[in-house]
Structure 1
Amino acid sequence: MSSPRLPPAAVQRHLSAPRLAPYVAACSGDLDRAVDLYRWNAAVAAAFWEVVGHGEIILRNAIHDALTERHGRSRAPGEWFDDPRREFEPRALDDIAAARRRASRTSPNPPPGKIVAELSFGFWRYLLARRYAPTLWPAIRHSFPHLPRGGRNDLERAVIRLHLLRNRIAHHEPLLRENLPARHADLAYLLDAISPAVRAWALDDDRLAMLLSDRP
């Protein structure tokens, strides 16, 4: 048996008028449509959260593998994120230190993979920045065998946009003005650069297309 429909005015009261305001404005004041649009926004956000999550983990592992291989060739002790070549900027070093602290809460000597998993999407985004083009990028580039020649700038911009989208979703913000088909294309570009096969696995194109076309 389906549950009774909550009147739109009650939904607004429980969610708060300010939270629903962007949806009401997008529906020219129609509260019924605004509530439907809010539910649609939540469904689209959940779908993107899933696939962007896949993209974040795949990107993280691709960069980690490339820098681990580079570090191994140098025969330096420790791990690449110990920064033996003193290449990382203060922000990155702060992120690594914070990841170590979080990883150490459950293990006094956390394995490298645990520390890497604690590093945020923003950390990996900044490793693709131009400042690291002469140092880290030549090694990272090998993890993107299908990236067009000279595509670091395009890759960085796509990852920046995906990071911003992820943050909007994480804060339950409206996606009404977000170019969602373009963000889908950004994710496809990132994953295709690593492996078209992994892109096919990670992206549920039909589900996203149906949701995007079903906006109230």
Structure 2
Amino acid sequence: MIDDPDEQSTAWVQRALSPARLAPYLAAAGGGTAAALELYRWNLDLCAAFYPPLHWCEIALRNAMHSQLRSYFGAHHWWDVAPLNENGRSMIGKARDDLAKRGRRETHTPDDIVAAVPLGFWVSLTSRGDRYDQTFWKHSLYFAFPHLTATRRVLHRDLNGIREFRNRIMHHEPIFNRNLPNQRDRVHRVIGYLSTPLYDETIRVDRIQTVLAAKPGHAPL
């Protein structure tokens, strides 16, 4: 039986979200469902605020990399001739299968494939494994980041961090307990490597700092 009026009014939260999903919020809020719900709502606001810069970053990243690789390999479907490893070929194959399930096996374009492969595919191309640093980075992908001020290794680390953080948001996981100012700076930094005008646009519409400043009193930041 729930005796606390506040807890009674928020009993639906446990049923809707499940105890397992609510547990991190309850722990951070000190065990009260009403406070946990406030924290959950703030987490939703944070995810919404991060969505625009993550959107710009992912779209610009894959388009810039696709453009360079298409030019370097001399083929719109460059993935058919590039020395991708097994994981890369698998991701391309899955993208094709997904498009085929939507009835687009014969009609899909290179742009359809670019949009269908996951962010992890593009991040993997900046790694050192399978000589990707020589095959892709040195002669092609380096030019996709005209304002790069870091090494390939640091860029790959930033991109992988963005990928992991982006996946948490897209899979509805908590982000309130992450170092959000650092996440914000990382996304902005990579966007700046790609395009100065895009960086300026991202900063102009950025809401992350405003949402961070509205954190509940029991938030861990």
Separation in 1, partners of 2:118, 2:128: 19
Same amino acid, percent of matched pairs = 36
Gaps of 5+ in 2: 1-7, 217-221
Matched to 2:119, the amino acid is: F
Question: Which residue number in structure 1 is paired with residue 103 of structure 2?
Answer: 106
Alignment size in residue pairs: 204
Deviation string, structure 1 residues 84-106 (Cα, Å, up to 9, x no partner): 25x21000001111112222333
RMSD of aligned Cα (Å): 1.8
Instruction: String of CA shifts for 1:108-128, please: whole Å, max 9, x gaps.
Output: 231111111111101011011
Aligned to 1:3: none
Aligned-residue offset at 1:12: 2.7
Alignment-mate amino acid for residue 134 of structure 1: Q
Q: Aligned AA for 1:16?
A: S
Q: Cα 1:48–1:193, aligned 2, differ >3 Å: closer, same or farther?
A: same
> Residue type of the partner of 2:90?
D
Q: Tell me the SS of whatever aligns to 1:135.
A: helix
Does the 8 Å CA contact 1:24/1:31 hold for their aligned counterparts?
A: yes
Q: Which residue matches 2:198?
A: 198
- CA distances 1:9-68 after superposition (whole Å, capped 9, x unpaired): 232333222222211110112322211000000111122133212211110001000101
Identify which of 11, 17, 20 aligns with 2:19: 17
Give the TM-score normalised by structure 1: 0.87
SS of residue paired to 1:129: coil
1: CA distance, partners of 2:103 / 2:203: 33
- Secondary structure at 1:142 match in 2: helix
Asked if structure 2 preserves the Cα contact closer than 8 Å seen for 1:71 and 1:79, the reply is: no
Mapping for residues 132-211 of structure 1, pairs under 5 Å? 132-138=132-138, 139-148=140-149, 151-203=151-203, 206-211=206-211
Instruction: Give, in angstroms, the shift of residue 206 of structure 1.
Output: 4.5
Cα–Cα, structure 1 residues 41 and 114, in superposed 2: closer, same or farther, change >3 Å? same
Residue aligning to 2:126:
128
Partner Cα separation in structure 2 for residue 7 and residue 187 of structure 1:
38
Deviates more, 1:182-191 or 1:171-180: 171-180
Q: So what's the TM-score if we normalise by structure 2?
A: 0.85
2:76 is equivalent to residue 89 of structure 1: no
The corresponding residue for 1:8 is 10
C-alpha displacement of 1:78: 6.0
Partners of 1:94 and 1:203 lie apart in 2 by: 36
Distance 1:199 1:27, change over 3 A: same
Matching of residue 30 in structure 1 with residue 32 in structure 2: yes
Indicate the SS of the match to 1:136: helix
